[in-house]
Amino acid sequence: MSVFTRRLTPRHPLAKLAIAQIDRLALRQQDIIQTMGYQPKNVIQACDRLRHVLCSPTLGLDNSYYDFRFSSIEFLQTLFAVLQIPPVEYESAMAELQHELENRVKPPVYTLRAQITFDFTGSANNWLTRWGVNRFHYVELPDNFVHLNEYEQELAIQVATQAHYQQNYNNLPYDGVITGYVLKIEQGEEQAFKEFGLPSSASSL
């Protein structure tokens, strides 16, 4: 094995096939990238993409890495052509992987917002004013929220709503009053909502 391929950890059979062919042809990663058509100024980024694809369980077909030269499928097709691997050896497995990715259940998207009533009377009753207060509705959730269990999510919501309330309850324009919070859960075409009251600390503020 070459210095390049020894550093790779293939996680898909097609990646193992590609790495074996790289060793058989004694190719360097720079040779592969340049033959694929990348310009010298883009070699470093393209080599990084090559390593990512060969170590990815999805071969990068989940669009986890991209550049402006090839789509994920075009990158693989061009790579296999450079490695002299005939389509009959990879097309079926690639199509199966694409099918799995297209039908994979995506994690839900969570959005937490504050329910706030504003007094938009008089000159404040216009779309620009209403647009301007949108930022007060947003409540930040931790980046790993989707990976938390139900109990941990409940705790994270308590922390987030408490921080939002303390920061904004007495600092809202147009006599704004926070009345509660709502968590929006989106999964595919489906949506669900879960309402929360004011944080326990609100009574002491």
The per-residue pLDDT string of the chain (205 residues; one tens digit each, 9 = 90 and over) reads 778 898 899 999 999 999 999 999 999 999 999 999 999 999 999 999 999 999 999 999 988 887 889 999 999 999 999 999 999 999 999 999 999 888 877 788 999 999 999 998 888 888 888 898 999 999 999 989 988 999 999 999 999 999 999 999 888 999 999 999 999 999 877 899 999 999 887 666 6
pLDDT of residue 202: 66
Q: Which amino acid is at 203?
A: S
Domain residue limits, the chain: 3-102, 109-204
CB 8 within 8 A of CB 55: yes
Which amino acid type is present at position 171?
Answer: N
Of 68, 65, 76, nearest to 12 (Cα)?
Answer: 76
| pLDDT at site 205 | 62
Task: For residue 168, give the amino acid letter.
Answer: N
Q: Give the pLDDT of residue 53.
A: 95
* Phi, psi for 169 (deg, rounded to 5): -60, -30
